[in-house]
Amino acid sequence: MGECRPLGFLLGLPFALLSLVFAAVGAVVWILGTLLSCICPCCICFSGLANMAVGLMKLPLKIMRWSIHQIPC
């Protein structure tokens, strides 16, 4: 079966759903950070805030991959 780990997927599902909330917050922060960095490009912290928000949006995938790889077949 190779990389088939359904138990890891099921165990990681609640954590992935929780991280979807963080991803939604990250999307809002990313939009605000992008708008603020366009308005005032001299503030470098807004671009850092937008990069952090992109990391939050990628969090569900990272958590699912981590939980799947923790369970051996």
Give which of 57, 38, 59, 37 is closest to 47, Cα–Cα.
37
Tens of pLDDT, residue by residue over 19-42, are 778 878 888 888 887 787 777 777
CB proximity list for 24: less than 8 A, separation 6 or greater: none
Residue 63 CA to residue 1 CA, distance in Å, equals 22
For Cα atoms 32, 55, 10, give the angle at the middle one, nearest 5 degrees: 125
Whether pTM > 0.75 for this model: the answer is no
Report residue 1's pLDDT band, with 50, 70 and 90 as the boundaries: very low
Average pLDDT of the chain? 75
